[in-house]
Amino acid sequence: MINFKQEIAKEIAKATNLNEKELENYIEIPPDSNMGDYAFPCFKLAKELRKAPPMIANDIKGIIKLDSNLIEKMDVVGGYLNFYINKKALIKEVLEEMNKKKEEFGSSTIGEGKNIVIDYSAPNIAKPFHIGHLRSTVIGGALYNIYNFLGYHSIGINHLGDYGTQFGKLIEAYKRWGTEYDIDNNPIDELTKMYIRINQLCKEDEDVLNACRDNFKKLEDGDPYCTELWENFRKVSLEEFKKVYELLGSKFDSWNGEAFYSDKMGEVVELLEKTGKLIESEGARIIPLDDKNMAPCIIGKTNGSTTYATRDLAAILYRARTYDFYKALYVTSYEQILHFSQVFEVAKLLGLDPKYTDNLYHVPFGMVQLKNGKVSTREGNIIKLEDLLNESISRAKEIIEEKNPNLENKEDVAKKVGIGAIIFNDLSNSRIKDEIFDWDTILNFNGETGPYVQYIYVRTKSVLDKAGYLPKIEEIDFDLISDKESIAILKLLYSFGDVVKQAADKNEPSIISRFLIDLSQAFSSFYNEHHIIVDDKKVQDARLYLTYCVGTVLKTGAKLLGISMPDRM
């Protein structure tokens, strides 16, 4: 597609000696399209040129020559030079691109040959897969799709919490009360109860806590009894987690969890020793980070056990070597900001090429609050994700039952709507914000929700079904979709590729969810304003094709977020 912004930048560059790339960054999209499609703010030039910004804007307007087939009008408002895209060019560009790329509309090859490692989901073995992990799974899964769509190669890693002192605790609990609990039939719930109980005991009795620590040390040293228990905990937990992944449609390329690094931490310690920065402190081995204003990174505990941080360091070595990554992302709640700042700092001491250690990114997100407080395992206030997802499906089913009782495939539609609603909700605000989980908002078909976007998509489908054909692009008279509502849609469609790129640049899938809402609302206005199926075949063809474009992009955008579209609802 023609890049209008670039064309403008090119011409301003010729007229002013300013750098074209820099200009592209200056050029803005005005918040209100009555003020043009692009605006060049002249304020930055005022000092250098010793002229008032409106005068500069006028001067530039006087000298630059823009092809009127691309930009139909320029005007000066305040210190801005505003540009108006030629509508016909816009329509032609979007429709032809759509005709060529279809579901791939908006995709790109900018990432070709580059690997992006995405570490997400990562629930903890023997603990419920709760609503807190949902965000990681959903955000990470969306980023995975978004990068692939831009030509990168995403590698999804589920860095399972399958190691650490908590296993020492579980082993201790099992030793003490194993027979009291029905682990085989109801593994996660029973293990959770045991975990809560042993934690309580640890708080009361230091000796028990030490016994737990010893168990973990034994596990690390390969003790057969501890290993066998651990393997079983891991197996039964994974079986449970997979039910959730099944519902969400999550995929991973690697399931290497923390335990995978148990034999790879020696190298980390050796490398750190060589730097002379690894020191003893109160029996533990640490890397001080005072100069970075951070608490020290603990590499080895007092009893010789390794830490979460050391396993992450080993994982960085492994991932750099195995995946030669262009970027490595870690999707967890903001509670781990300090952890990743420490780990990324210490990673610089491992002797890796800086192209790796300069490209580690923590992608933090806010907490999920249920209306009745925070979700936690240790206090026992648990909402299991599997239950939550199933509840959403059954609530969606009730709504469908009420609104459209004769719908075919109700089960399948309810699943798409119920899961889509949860995913969309998780991605609908900037990720760092805390999220209040509220059923009424999530499943509101008229709100800014997943079901609303699905509903608009279904509407585009049913219009096309009703017409019974998709017109050929050669038959379309572009002038017939130059009304206000159509142009609003076309501008959004035109921006889709940029929207996806921004979402990747900022690791922020909510940019795409916002876009989907805007596009849905724009279509809704169009639909309310214009009949699509009309007597005038030419008008009908043009409007049908536009409808098809909207449906296609809604579906692609939703798919990037991990949401499937029903054909009817």
Catalytic residues: 127, 130, 133
Tokens for 515?
A: 């876009």
Single residue of 312, 426, 448, 508 touching ligand ARG by CB under 6 A? 312
Nearest approach, Cβ of residue 133 and ligand ARG (Å) = 6
Nearest approach, Cβ of residue 156 and ligand ARG (Å) = 12
- Using only C-alpha atoms, the chain has a radius of gyration, in whole angstroms, of 28
Please tell me the distance from the alpha carbon of residue 88 to that of residue 300, in angstroms, as a whole number. Answer: 66
User: Which CB, 173 or 315, lies closer to ligand ARG?
Assistant: 315
User: Which CB, 159 or 555, lies closer to ligand ARG?
Assistant: 159
Length of the chain: 569
Which neighbouring-strand residues pair with 328? 117, 360
Cβ-based neighbour number of residue 191 at 10 Å: 23
Site string for ligand ARG, 120-159 (x = CB under 6 A): --x-x----------------------------------x
User: Which CB, 105 or 330, lies closer to ligand ARG?
Assistant: 330
Please tell me the distance from the alpha carbon of residue 453 to that of residue 512, in angstroms, as a whole number. Answer: 12
Q: Does 161 bind ligand ARG (CB under 6 A)?
A: yes
Judge whether 455 and 445 are in contact, CB under 8 Å.
yes
User: Which CB, 122 or 504, lies closer to ligand ARG?
Assistant: 122
Nearest approach, Cβ of residue 239 and ligand ARG (Å) = 18
Nearest approach, Cβ of residue 310 and ligand ARG (Å) = 11
Query: Could you tell me which stretch among 103-111, 118-126, 138-146, 184-192 binds ligand ARG (CB under 6 A)?
Result: 118-126
User: Which CB, 278 or 315, lies closer to ligand ARG?
Assistant: 315
User: Which CB, 301 or 538, lies closer to ligand ARG?
Assistant: 301
> Going by C-beta distance under 8 Å and a sequence separation of 6 or more, which residues neighbour residue 6?
20, 24
Query: Could you tell me which stretch among 74-82, 116-124, 208-216, 526-534 binds ligand ARG (CB under 6 A)?
Result: 116-124
Nearest approach, Cβ of residue 339 and ligand ARG (Å) = 7
224-248 helix and 187-204 helix, angle to the nearest 10 degrees: 130
In the region spanning residues 316 to 355, those forming contacts with ligand ARG, defined by CB under 6 A, are: 330, 332
> Going by C-beta distance under 8 Å and a sequence separation of 6 or more, which residues neighbour residue 182?
190
Query: Could you tell me which stretch among 117-125, 177-185, 390-398, 550-558 binds ligand ARG (CB under 6 A)?
Result: 117-125
User: 151: phi > 0 → left, psi -120 to 50 → alpha, else beta; which?
Assistant: left
| Chain residue whose CB lies nearest ligand ARG | 161
Given the DSSP bridges, would you call strands 80-85 and 38-41 parallel, antiparallel or unpaired?
antiparallel
User: Which CB, 111 or 161, lies closer to ligand ARG?
Assistant: 161
Please tell me the distance from the alpha carbon of residue 287 to that of residue 279, in angstroms, as a whole number. Answer: 6
Please tell me the distance from the alpha carbon of residue 453 to that of residue 437, in angstroms, as a whole number. Answer: 19
Judge whether 327 and 150 are in contact, CB under 8 Å.
no
User: Which CB, 67 or 379, lies closer to ligand ARG?
Assistant: 379
Q: Does 172 bind ligand ARG (CB under 6 A)?
A: no
Nearest approach, Cβ of residue 372 and ligand ARG (Å) = 22
Tokens for 28?
A: 């803005």
Q: Does 449 bind ligand ARG (CB under 6 A)?
A: no
Q: Does 268 bind ligand ARG (CB under 6 A)?
A: no
Please tell me the distance from the alpha carbon of residue 435 to that of residue 394, in angstroms, as a whole number. Answer: 22
Rounded to 5°, the CA angle 50-51-54 comes to 155
User: Which CB, 124 or 520, lies closer to ligand ARG?
Assistant: 124
Judge whether 235 and 183 are in contact, CB under 8 Å.
no
Number of residues that bind ligand ARG (CB under 6 A): 9
Nearest approach, Cβ of residue 363 and ligand ARG (Å) = 11
Helix (H, G, I), strand (E, B) or coil at 378: coil
Please tell me the distance from the alpha carbon of residue 228 to that of residue 236, in angstroms, as a whole number. Answer: 13
User: 536: phi > 0 → left, psi -120 to 50 → alpha, else beta; which?
Assistant: beta
* Closest residue by Cα to residue 460 from 403, 545, 536, 402: 545
Please tell me the distance from the alpha carbon of residue 135 to that of residue 257, in angstroms, as a whole number. Answer: 19
Amino acid at residue number 16: T
Judge whether 239 and 141 are in contact, CB under 8 Å.
no
Q: Does 119 bind ligand ARG (CB under 6 A)?
A: yes
Nearest approach, Cβ of residue 8 and ligand ARG (Å) = 43
Nearest approach, Cβ of residue 242 and ligand ARG (Å) = 17
Residue 52's φ and ψ, nearest 5 degrees, are -70, 140
Nearest approach, Cβ of residue 312 and ligand ARG (Å) = 5
User: Which CB, 72 or 386, lies closer to ligand ARG?
Assistant: 386
- How many angstroms separate the Cα of 58 from the Cα of each of 69, 75, 81, 136, 357? 21, 8, 8, 50, 48
- Contact residues: ligand ARG, CB under 6 A: 119, 122, 124, 159, 161, 312, 315, 330, 332
